[in-house]
Structure 1
Amino acid sequence: MENTTVVGIHKLELYIPDSYLTLNSLAEHHDIAPEKYILGIGQSKMAVPSPDEDVITLAANAAQSVLDSLTSQEAQSISTLIFATESSVDQSKSGAAYLMGLIDIQSNCRAFEIKQACYAGTAGLQMACDLAKTRPEESILLVASDIARYKQNSPGECTQGAGAIAMLISANPDIVEIDPERGFYSTDIMDFWRPNYFKHALVDGELSKDAYLNIMNKSYLNYIHKGGKSLAEFDWLCFHQPFTKMANKAYRHLKESFVDEMKDKTEASYAITQTYGREIGNTYTASLYIGLLSLLDNAEQDVSGQKIGFFSYGSGAVGEFFSGTINQNYRLGISTKHNKLRLSERHEINYDTYIDYMYQTRDVGQLEHIKSQSKFRFIGITDHKRVYQRCPMLKRKAA
């Protein structure tokens, strides 16, 4: 008998650092025209984590916001915690295990980390959907958290960013029902990678852009082969955005490759998904879902019942095309006023502070006097053990 359980995203929360650097400031210090960044890659700001923030603290803030929004019954239904990142802090212990010691989640829960570049968030989503479909009485907390960090003065520096997305995946979701059809394509290429002995990523930018577009087409064709919807049926398109201009390139590539299916599509079908990413920068595993949240938060009209086509890409490389339908209760699962307030209340830092935050190595004990406005802090390493601190809970301000 066919399993007809509807599964998808029930809650969706964002967390970003308090600080940002403008791309104007970066361009000035790189001695290039700001338009190369503002128009060329579509970025205006990059979120910059404080030295007492890392992917664990970013993830903990986003995850705790989801947990704070749940009823006790919903919280008790969480059977699995999945942590997706390509900025892992340990080669053995998962980020999910660290989260178990920080956030208010029950201990009767499996916890683990997954990795495949920026695709890992989608790998976690689809695994979570399969779990929820098989066991509809259970829900899964999925957290995607990353800090995009490149070598100073390298071409990739202008795409840096930081942030985390947390999602509760369940049966009968409030936000987005994820369709069962999925199209994939994987291959072995060296377009972006970070060896264990490097603190920053290495990238072949042109190869990566070409791979993204080619794998998008092949993933979509595989999705159609498996019974998926035509591009013509989607009200919205949501692309992975290593920089926001990449969504423009993806849209144009689909326009050229699938002329009949895309003939009625305009840039309005994806442009709103770029709003948050332009202000945050690259967040790797969280990027696609920040695009989704940007759409849900900023659409002027009610988008319930409308269909979204998603493309997820992870260098190395894996791509997946999938789809979903926005639920009529979607506003119950997101925190629109808080998200907009969070973005507007961040503070700008100067270039010297940015260099200090992103590139300065600190010894044990040097973090005690650095305090971000976070619920969770990384306070140093003792005996090769990372130490975190939970701060007094900060209440959200009313918008």
Structure 2
Amino acid sequence: MNEKTEVNMTIGIDKIGFATSQYVLKLQDLAEARGVDPDKYSKGLLLNEISIAPLTEDVVTLAASASNSILTDKEKEEIDMVIVATESGIDQSKAAAVFVHGLLGIQPFARSFEIKEACYGATAALHYAKLHVENSPKSKVLVIASDIAKYGVTAPGEPTQGAGSVAMLITQNPRTMAFNNDNVAQTRDIMDFWRPNYSTTPYVNGLYSTQQYLDSLTTTWDEYKKRFDWTMNDFAAICFHLPYPKLALKGLRKMMDKTLSQEKKDSLQENFDKSILYSQMIGNIYTGSLFLGLLSLLENAENLKAGDKIVLYSYGSGAVSEFFSGELVEGYETYLDKDRLSKLKQRTALSVEDYEKVFFEEVELDESGSAQFAGFENQDYALVEILDHQRRYSKVEK
């Protein structure tokens, strides 16, 4: 039997949801404030806007919002594992997943933990979830990719900042996309992007990181094709990790070989353009960027159908890369939000001055290690206080 068909059961993404912050910064305004040609952002990065998270919004609140948007009360009783992938963790010991588990009211007999490997972490979480469901077919696993990308005022990465969370319910007999048993991963011990414990912002070797992203793509793709006999003709679309969409476009061009017809190239390009729509309005969300691209593709592409295969390229600095694929399930459109673009346009736009105040505000604790917060009325979940160094979250009553 061909290796790529050796699957014991159908497992994949049953439902997928997303949440971002209520604030947005238009990069046209940022370019003017920084004395930069706006084309450097809109054409050089393929970015137009970035989401800005206030102090009361973090990876926990975003994760809870994304998850609650797709889960029923029944599913909260059936989930037996919660995994949060993040590189914006809020505690060195307690997992963000434990906070989310409590906020959502998921039944108590569930494992909850956090995974970290830069932007790759959610892909590892999906694989772990798949293995768990293979072992316990009645299980439902909530996998959440939640991050806030923050670089600093005037930093080279400033226009690629962002905030958001993608939640995925992983089950047997999924209703959105079934995984193929074809993961191929590669690890390289490099320093292209990192953030030591003592730093609130990352260190980036930008050109080197770009080179590693593209070289890892090429070498992992070659290994993937060799192991499973896939070619680009087998796939209706490819989704990329999206630190910024222009880098993914370079990746797409590397994968467009001479064997493809012009019609196939045009179709892949069309679907790529649909896959970056949300990222162009939100920016980089680290672990969630690949899956935000998948969501954007599914909710906006006009030429996809059940049975189509989609290949995904995951990359996390440091570095781990992976290719894997999935197949769209009959009726997948039922579980998507086709009105998301218009909802994103309803966010509150910030001036550059207000963005700098909101995004870079820091917690000021009193002598007891406590602080009270306000201004979170428009959030679904919020960090409402820190009491004796303990973060306290709450669902916001509307």
When residues 179 and 262 of structure 1 are mapped into structure 2, their CA distance, relative to the original with a 3 A threshold, is farther
Which runs of 5 or more residues in structure 1 are unaligned?
395-399
The equivalent residue for 1:26 is 30
Aligned-pair distance for 1:334? Answer: 2.1
Given that 1:82 and 1:142 are in contact with CA atoms closer than 8 Å, whether structure 2 keeps it comes out as yes
Any idea what the Cα deviations from partners look like across 1:21-69, whole Å, max 9, x if unmatched? 000111111111111111110100000012210111101111112223x
Provide the identity percentage.
36
Any idea what the Cα deviations from partners look like across 1:104-127, whole Å, max 9, x if unmatched? 211110000000000001111111
Question: Are 1:48 and 2:52 an aligned pair?
Answer: yes
Equivalent residue of 2:216, what SS?
helix
Task: Find the partner of 1:317 among 319, 331, 354.
Answer: 319
Given that 1:12 and 1:167 are in contact with CA atoms closer than 8 Å, whether structure 2 keeps it comes out as yes
Q: 2:362 & 2:56 partners in 1: Cα distance?
A: 12
Select between 217-226 and 366-375 the one with higher mean Cα deviation.
366-375
Question: Are 1:377 and 2:379 an aligned pair?
Answer: no
The equivalent residue for 1:13 is 17
Given that 2:371 and 2:387 are in contact with CA atoms closer than 8 Å, whether structure 1 keeps it comes out as no
Q: Trace 1:278-293 onto structure 2 (pairs within 5 A).
A: 278-293=280-295
The equivalent residue for 1:259 is 258
Q: 1:345 & 1:288 partners in 2: Cα distance?
A: 24
Given that 2:47 and 2:245 are in contact with CA atoms closer than 8 Å, whether structure 1 keeps it comes out as yes
Number of positions where the alignment pairs a residue of Structure 1 with one of Structure 2: 387
Given that 1:182 and 1:226 are in contact with CA atoms closer than 8 Å, whether structure 2 keeps it comes out as no
Task: Find the partner of 1:387 among 389, 392, 396.
Answer: 392
Given that 1:88 and 1:95 are in contact with CA atoms closer than 8 Å, whether structure 2 keeps it comes out as yes
Aligned-pair distance for 1:366? Answer: 6.1
When residues 368 and 234 of structure 1 are mapped into structure 2, their CA distance, relative to the original with a 3 A threshold, is same
The letter for the 2-side match of 1:390 is: K
The equivalent residue for 1:192 is 193
When residues 208 and 99 of structure 1 are mapped into structure 2, their CA distance, relative to the original with a 3 A threshold, is same
The equivalent residue for 2:305 is 303
Question: Are 1:335 and 2:334 an aligned pair?
Answer: no
* TM-score, L = length of structure 2: 0.93
The equivalent residue for 1:227 is 228
Q: 2:196 & 2:362 partners in 1: Cα distance?
A: 19
* TM-score, L = length of structure 1: 0.93
Q: 1:323 & 1:172 partners in 2: Cα distance?
A: 16
Q: 1:199 & 1:24 partners in 2: Cα distance?
A: 26
Select between 3-12 and 361-370 the one with higher mean Cα deviation.
361-370
Any idea what the Cα deviations from partners look like across 1:180-217, whole Å, max 9, x if unmatched? 01111110111000110011111111111110011112
Any idea what the Cα deviations from partners look like across 1:100-155, whole Å, max 9, x if unmatched? 22112111100000000000011111111121122211110011100000022110
Q: 2:255 & 2:378 partners in 1: Cα distance?
A: 42
Given that 1:9 and 1:170 are in contact with CA atoms closer than 8 Å, whether structure 2 keeps it comes out as yes
The equivalent residue for 2:102 is 101
Q: 1:259 & 1:124 partners in 2: Cα distance?
A: 35
Aligned-pair distance for 1:261? Answer: 5.4
Equivalent residue of 1:226, what SS?
helix
